[in-house]
Amino acid sequence: MKIVIVGGVAGGATAAARLRRLSEDSEIIVLERGPDVSFANCGLPYYIGGVIEDREELLLHTPESLSQRYRLDVRVKSEALSIDTAGKTIRIRDIAGNREYTETFDKLLLSPGAFPVRPPIPGADNPLVRTLRNVSDTDALTELALKGGNAVVVGGGFIGIEMAESLCRRGIAVDLVEARPQILWNLDPEMAWPAQKRMEKNGVRVRLNETVSAITPQDNRLTVTTKSGLTLPASFVLLAIGVKPETSLAREAGIQIGVTGGIQVDEKMRTSSPDIYAVGDAVEVSHRVTGKPVLPYLAGPANRQARIAADSMMGRAEKYSGAITTAIVGIFGLQVASSGVTEKTLKAESIPYLKAYLHPLNHAGYYPGGSRLHMKILFTPKDGRILGIQAVGDEGADKRVDVIALAIRSGMTVNDLAEAELAYAPQFGSARDPVNQAGLVAGNILSGDMVPAYPDELAGLQAKGAIILDVRTKSEFRLGRIPNSLHIPIDDLRTRLGEVPKKGPVIVCCQVGLRGYVAARILVQSGYDARNLMGGFLTYESFGLEIAKGG
Ligand code: FAD
């Protein structure tokens, strides 16, 4: 069999290696437009920031080593120009040799990836305005970063954030401009809030709700202007406002493109054209939670799809069952991880859900060095099936999200999380791990043992006569509280119950939601309509609502 692969990085190189492992006899040609194959896209920001010191580390294979290991015909600086689907041929430009030629194929795999969006902003074509996709971009950005000065990073997604941190490591002053009202659009706003605070604490000036309208050159420097009139000087600009699937080759060949703009594939990663497969950032796949088409733009799905496409070509029955978009980003030591869907998406898709917030320690509190996790779990009201998880913290957010990602994939419920048996010693977790705690808190909501209240509904509840009862200590109360709260520390509550009015709902607030739950149970059993403010004051704070202090 003669197989041609377009794209020699994540999906393309993975598929080529798998194909060779399955078939020693096939002829496998890998076409890559750039000079490098199989490089570590995900490592590029860390080389620019100096964490990865040796450039060679980014190149997992050279064209020669890839070719030798798997006996592939690797052709770099070779661009696929067009496909004749009926005749099963592909037109190729040999960029270095400045010539064009045609290859036949029995099977074709498209893994052309996604390209960074360059908006039609005046001045965006200036050579000091860069994007980051490959090793050449990395070299250019490293050179700029080593000159010092200041930079404007446009876009608060993964790449923008990783680059903001990397540039700070090089001593560059960074303004991060984001058009939306939050960074990290893959999270709900209150979960992105700690990430933003961490960036600001480390000197990144985060400018939300600002859309770049022009980039003007001035004495070898730039001025970035936003629609609101903000002007930011910059030695250089990084545009990280998103990517789009590379679909022109497929589109022009008449291959079906999906509603999201990605190449449509079936569960064997086959396109609408027989014998043409596609994987990675260029394809749209089904989201396992919503069933809707998505473009994950993640290395994990690209790798799995590549293996499945190779297996399918070789007649194996493997199937890709969809993505749950599990992702993580590091922000100055903070782990920000998520899997499944967000509340924003559930609302937009009109999918019924319940939610819980919790802020457990990443390991037993008595063992030194514990740090707090901020977790939000979304689940179905009917049976508690897990729909999404978001976790933020200095340590341990990664493993909790990974465990819950597997639970989401397996269609498990919050009760399964409560019962999960996980590895425990005091330096690693708790006998009741945050994963168990997430399941228990969510389970209490499902069973009706706890009636939750949420920060964004407090004003409405207060207007209807609800009172906020703060059950924390005096010093916690003084440091910051919800305005107009009644203060009765939890240990005094039973003796001071008479001070709590019975006429409306009582919203109990503590620091993280645990004492609040205990207090709410006391109140409910004394005839009150008591609700627990989910995640307590820490969750309230993350909504950016008014805080009263002192007293
Ligand atoms: P790519 O790996 O981009 O490969 C596509 C290749 O196809 C390109 O080299 C391109 O030159 C070539 N090509 C395109 N068209 C043609 C043509 N017509 N002819 C010949 N060649 C062509 N994902 C994560 O999960 N975690 C991370 O931490 C992470 N970090 C990232 C950091 C950066 C800076 C970037 C850019 C991406 C990151 N990603 C991360 C995303 C991840 O790298 C991609 O999801 C993955 O590489 C997609 O694989 P792919 O094969 O579809 O595309």
pLDDT digits (tens, 9 = 90+) for 67-117: 999 999 999 999 999 999 999 999 999 999 999 999 999 999 999 999 999
Torsion of CA 275, 279, 281, 286, to 10 degrees: 100
Q: What is the CATH number of domain 333-447?
A: 3.50.50.60
Ligand 1 atom nearest the C-alpha of 296 is 45
**pLDDT tens digits for range 24-46:** 999 999 999 999 999 999 999 99
The mean pLDDT of 45-61, rounded to a whole number, is 96
| pLDDT at site 65 | 95
pLDDT band at 306 (very low <50, low <70, confident <90, very high): very high
The answer to whether 2-114+244-313 and 129-241 have equal CATH topology is: yes
Looking at ligand 1, which residue's alpha carbon is closest to its atom 39?
42
482 lines ligand 1 (CB under 6 A): no
Task: Sketch the domain layout of the chain as residue ranges.
Answer: 2-114+244-313, 129-241, 333-447, 452-542
Q: Let me know if domain 129-241 sits in CATH 3.40.630.10.
A: no
Looking at ligand 1, which residue's alpha carbon is closest to its atom 30?
42
Give CATH superfamily name and number for 452-542. Rhodanese-like domain (3.40.250.10)
Ligand 1 center to 9 CA (angstroms): 6
**pLDDT tens digits for range 265-279:** 999 999 999 899 999
Ligand 1 center to 399 CA (angstroms): 25
| pLDDT at site 136 | 96
User: 3-state DSSP call for residue 507?
Assistant: strand
Tokens, residue 177: 């401009």
pLDDT band at 476 (very low <50, low <70, confident <90, very high): very high
263 lines ligand 1 (CB under 6 A): no
* Beta-sheet strands, E only, within 380-457: 386-393, 452-453
Catalytic residue among 42, 168, 509, 510: 42
List the one residue out of 136, 134, 128, 135 whose CA is nearest residue 154. 128
Ligand 1 center to 43 CA (angstroms): 12
Q: Give the span between the Cα atoms of 57 and 73, in whole angstroms.
A: 23
Q: Give the span between the Cα atoms of 452 and 513, in whole angstroms.
A: 10
| pLDDT at site 493 | 97
240 lines ligand 1 (CB under 6 A): no
pLDDT band at 551 (very low <50, low <70, confident <90, very high): confident
**pLDDT tens digits for range 169-228:** 999 999 999 999 999 999 999 999 999 999 999 999 999 999 999 999 988 999 999 999
Ligand 1 center to 114 CA (angstroms): 6
Q: Sign of the C-alpha dihedral, residues 460, 462, 466, 472?
A: positive
Ligand 1 center to 404 CA (angstroms): 27
Looking at ligand 1, which residue's alpha carbon is closest to its atom 3?
113
Instruction: Determine the angle formed by the axes of helices 189-201 and 158-169, rounding to 10 degrees.
Output: 10
Tokens, residue 427: 């330096």
- Bridge partners for 509 per DSSP: 470
Q: What is the mean pLDDT of the chain?
A: 97
11 lines ligand 1 (CB under 6 A): yes
Q: Give the span between the Cα atoms of 532 and 521, in whole angstroms.
A: 9
299 lines ligand 1 (CB under 6 A): yes
Ligand 1 atom nearest the C-alpha of 282 is 52
* Beta-sheet strands, E only, within 162-262: 173-177, 205-207, 212-218, 221-226, 231-234, 236-239, 243-245
* Beta-sheet strands, E only, within 78-170: 78-84, 89-94, 99-104, 107-110, 114-116, 129-130, 150-154
pLDDT band at 445 (very low <50, low <70, confident <90, very high): very high
Q: Give the span between the Cα atoms of 200 and 332, in whole angstroms.
A: 10
pLDDT band at 295 (very low <50, low <70, confident <90, very high): very high
Q: Is the separation of the CB atoms in 26 and 1 below 8 Å?
A: yes
Helix then strand then coil, in percent of the chain rounded to 5, is 30, 25, 40
Q: Is the separation of the CB atoms in 261 and 245 below 8 Å?
A: yes
Residue to probe by mutation, ligand 1, list 9, 48, 61, most atoms within 8 Å of CB: 9
The mean pLDDT of 313-322, rounded to a whole number, is 96
- Is-above-0.85 flag for pTM? yes
Ligand 1 atom nearest the C-alpha of 249 is 18
| pLDDT at site 44 | 98
Tell me the percentage of the chain whose pLDDT exceeds 70. 100
pLDDT band at 239 (very low <50, low <70, confident <90, very high): very high
Task: Give yes or no: 509 in active site.
Answer: no
Which fold is adopted by the domain 2-114+244-313? FAD/NAD(P)-binding domain (3.50.50)
Looking at ligand 1, which residue's alpha carbon is closest to its atom 38?
42
| pLDDT at site 319 | 96
Ligand 1 center to 395 CA (angstroms): 28
pLDDT band at 125 (very low <50, low <70, confident <90, very high): very high
